[in-house]
Structure 1
Amino acid sequence: MSLDLVTFTNAMNCLGPFAPGCHLAVAVSGGPDSMVLCHLLRCWQLQGQDQKLTALIVDHGLRPESAEEAQITQQRLQKLGIESVILKWQDPKPTTRIQERARQARYHLLEAWCQQHGIIHLLTAHHADDQWETVVSRLQKNSGSSGLRGILPIRYRPFGRLLRPLLNFTKAEIYAYLVQVGGDYVVDPSNANLKYLRVRLRQDRPVLEQSSFPAVKVNKIRQEASLATDKRHQELVKFCLHHLRIDPLGYLEIQRPAFHALSPELQIEVLRCIHHCMAQTSYPLPRQKATHTLAKILTGTRTTVGGWYIVPKKEKIIFSRENRPADKATPLPQPGLRHNQFLLIDNNPVSEQENHPLASYLIRGLPNASNFVLKFLNPLLE
């Protein structure tokens, strides 16, 4: 399938519909993939769409030339008629796990900007070759079915949605489009650094495709993983609807007999889901930690994980916040459902001096700030 305005418009239609006049943001590195995405979005916009478009350029500051590259990219976007903003990573730079932490910082900056400006659609330029690398790397790490789904075309985040309209197009098709339109781009030297797994996979792909991981096989694995994950999510939704309760005071409980009746795999997924919701992290609880936590619960042993206290009782399992200082106050909208978030605000915190029929470990774990917010992010939708 060739990449052109027609096929791109079809891809955008699959991610829509987009409300008239809505504001879209696109993550831009200045490389060929994101510049092609910007060019296509601008053409898509000019063919009759009335959406507003803003490009977000992240300057990680990891290389001396990154600031100049960000400005060059901004000038090229201006020639296309696209407004842009440069977001700078101001934190101290890491010396280990550089790519991982840079990626986390990049998404934090992008999503924070979108949330601040009320934008619920953020587009990235991930493509089919990125998909192959992701699935193969996860196969090598023995990931479960959720991870083997690879990069999702739509992913729900607290600010709104991450959208990947180029996932079905290869790097070769992207370059062919770039040659056709004569686009310019910057080159990040880290993309050729063999100390990074993705770079090694990219270099070894011809051999890997011939031996163990042909593209057809990888796509089949991804599709089967998606079906298995969808089935498990349906079971998780059913369990949560019938056997999980969020108390207005800010703790969560599940019915213990129903939890014990689940398969071990589903028990682990329930714990990972709950932790993902309550810890407000970008990723679920690692499987190894979830397995360790499950062993504690099954033996009736109290334990802690991710800042939460887990107490197995006779008929229920209670998840209470650990006795730690309250988070800094963060202004949030009124309680309710917003962008797939469940916001629960407790304006009447309980202190140990007040007379409430609650166990001491619950009282100690309750929030002590009047505007404490428990965000129940719903990873079941992802």
Structure 2
Amino acid sequence: MSDDDNSPISARAAKQLFAELKSSPALVLAVSGGPDSVALMWLAARWRRSLSRGPQLTVVTVDHGLRPEAAREAREVKQLATELGLTHRTLRWRGVKPKRGLPAAAREARYRLLAQAARKAGASHVLTAHTRDDQAETLLMRLVRGSGLAGLSAMARRTERDGIVLARPLLDVPKSQLVATLKRAKIGFADDPTNRDTAFTRPRLRALLPQLAMEGGDARTLARLAVRLSRANAAVEVLVDGAERFLRLRARGDAPQAGSRRYEASAFAALPEEVRLRLLLRAVNAVGHEGPAELGKVETLMAALDQAIAAGPAGAAHGRAILKQTLSGALISLTGGRIHITPAPARRSKGTCKGT
């Protein structure tokens, strides 16, 4: 991208943005009607026209049913998509909306509907219009929530969800360049007031960015930090993969029951703390049946496990477990120098009766 964050994106630069998607059979573009996603649609349509053969493009607008203006904005997106020669679909999030955690629930619904649309269109990818500014805001949100290294890596250029690849081709592009691109092309876009609603976390943090920029913490710098943290996170994941193979070799001939994990406690304790933490998190999430474990709870579990391992075999003379805890549907115990991670018994519902 150009060093001038206020310059329109050239046709040549746009080709670079989408180059790796050229051989895809079909692509779904997530377009809400705001400047970022409208620019994504316009740039993708221009890129597609420059190809002799290329993917089929389908534009999808998700109407969450949260604002009366959303239906009109979806119609405007459809009109522009039609002018650009693109197929358009509007999908609606139906059902009761939660009173708490609404942004997260709306996001989950949006991605679920987009994945369904991609499968129906035979698309390999869903393209979203996340920008450098979004990356910076995401890093700040996760920072104030105390996320670990993986969370602070923020958004990746490509992730997989429900069997569909989510691609973010504009992740290195500032929002200002997208607005400049639309202005030059004389293309209008919607203004979503919820983007400025300080009842939500992201708009509050967005309002802080100008002050942070005065101290050198502008969106470019924050996004670059996210990339650097992502590199470090990837390196740690390689170490965790190696540690997992090492522990499995140490446990050869001592295989756990199907669907369980077993580690030699002394070998586990010798690993770096971050590697141990991720191994434990992986095992709990793989074996448990109550959803992803919270990082803070896994840290607490590992502290107890480390303490139990350091205490030695004193409590295990008669085969008793030195430690026994449940987390996210997994049962973690330390017995006979081995860490055992097995599925925990299912919780009985409060309404269950013992007799008939």
TM-score interval w.r.t. the shorter chain? 0.7 to 0.9
Partner of 2:72: 68
- The counterpart of 1:264, out of the listed 273, 296, 308, is 273
RMSD: 2.7
- The counterpart of 1:295, out of the listed 290, 303, 324, is 303
Q: 1:43 Cα deviation (Å)? A: 1.2
SS in structure 2 at match of 1:302 = strand
Change over 3 Å in CA distance of 1:89–1:247 after alignment to 2: farther
Change over 3 Å in CA distance of 1:44–1:277 after alignment to 2: farther
Q: Say whether the 8 Å CA contact 1:127–1:169 is kept in structure 2.
A: yes
Change over 3 Å in CA distance of 1:216–1:47 after alignment to 2: closer
The alignment status of 1:93 with 2:97, answered yes or no, reads: yes
Q: 1:141 Cα deviation (Å)? A: 3.1
The alignment status of 1:318 with 2:340, answered yes or no, reads: yes
Q: 1:146 Cα deviation (Å)? A: 1.9
Q: Say whether the 8 Å CA contact 2:34–2:190 is kept in structure 1.
A: yes
* Worse-superposed segment, 80-89 or 209-218: 209-218
Q: Say whether the 8 Å CA contact 2:160–2:166 is kept in structure 1.
A: yes
Deviations 1:264-306 (A, max 9, x none): 2222222223344556999x53221111222343434222222
Identity of aligned residues (%): 29
SS in structure 1 at match of 2:323 = coil
Change over 3 Å in CA distance of 1:139–1:249 after alignment to 2: closer
Q: Provide the rounded CA distance (Å) in 1 between the counterparts of 2:21 and 2:268.
A: 39
- The counterpart of 1:306, out of the listed 301, 315, 328, is 328
Change over 3 Å in CA distance of 1:200–1:19 after alignment to 2: same
Q: Provide the rounded CA distance (Å) in 1 between the counterparts of 2:166 and 2:256.
A: 31
Partner of 2:316: none
Q: Provide the rounded CA distance (Å) in 2 between the counterparts of 1:55 and 1:105.
A: 17
Partner of 1:9: 15
- Computing the radius of gyration over CA atoms, which structure comes out larger, 1 or 2? 2
Deviations 1:10-53 (A, max 9, x none): 1222xx25435x11112111111111101111111111142111
Q: What letter matches 1:320 in structure 2?
A: T
Q: Provide the rounded CA distance (Å) in 2 between the counterparts of 1:321 and 1:73.
A: 48
Change over 3 Å in CA distance of 1:186–1:320 after alignment to 2: same
- The counterpart of 1:46, out of the listed 49, 58, 77, is 49
Q: What letter matches 2:273 in structure 1?
A: P
Q: Provide the rounded CA distance (Å) in 1 between the counterparts of 2:218 and 2:294.
A: 28
Deviations 1:339-375 (A, max 9, x none): xxxxxxxxxxxxxxxxxxxxxxxxxxxxxxxxxxxxx
Q: Provide the rounded CA distance (Å) in 1 between the counterparts of 2:342 and 2:286.
A: 13
Partner of 1:204: 208
Deviations 1:63-118 (A, max 9, x none): 23323332332232222211122222123111122212211221222234435655
SS in structure 2 at match of 1:242 = helix
Structure 2: gaps (5+ residues): 309-321, 348-356
Partner of 1:380: none
Change over 3 Å in CA distance of 1:215–1:57 after alignment to 2: closer
Q: Provide the rounded CA distance (Å) in 2 between the counterparts of 1:26 and 1:276.
A: 32
Q: Provide the rounded CA distance (Å) in 2 between the counterparts of 1:321 and 1:207.
A: 49
- The counterpart of 1:229, out of the listed 223, 226, 233, is 233
Change over 3 Å in CA distance of 1:293–1:36 after alignment to 2: same
TM-score using structure 2 length: 0.80
Q: Say whether the 8 Å CA contact 1:59–1:66 is kept in structure 2.
A: yes
Q: Say whether the 8 Å CA contact 2:243–2:275 is kept in structure 1.
A: no
Structure 1: gaps (5+ residues): 326-382
The alignment status of 1:146 with 2:146, answered yes or no, reads: no
Q: Provide the rounded CA distance (Å) in 2 between the counterparts of 1:214 and 1:32.
A: 20
Q: 1:176 Cα deviation (Å)? A: 0.5
Q: Provide the rounded CA distance (Å) in 1 between the counterparts of 2:146 and 2:30.
A: 30
The aligned runs of 1:1-382 (5 Å cut-off) are 1=2, 2=7, 3-13=9-19, 16=20, 18-19=22-23, 22-48=25-51, 49-115=53-119, 118-211=122-215, 213-215=217-219, 217-244=221-248, 249-277=258-286, 285-298=293-306, 299=308, 300-324=322-346
Q: What letter matches 1:268 in structure 2?
A: L
Q: Say whether the 8 Å CA contact 1:25–1:123 is kept in structure 2.
A: yes
Q: 1:217 Cα deviation (Å)? A: 4.1
Q: Provide the rounded CA distance (Å) in 2 between the counterparts of 1:153 and 1:98.
A: 25
Q: Provide the rounded CA distance (Å) in 1 between the counterparts of 2:230 and 2:115.
A: 26
Q: Say whether the 8 Å CA contact 1:307–1:321 is kept in structure 2.
A: yes
SS in structure 2 at match of 1:166 = coil
Count matched residues: 321
TM-score using structure 1 length: 0.75
SS in structure 1 at match of 2:225 = helix
Q: Say whether the 8 Å CA contact 1:8–1:165 is kept in structure 2.
A: no
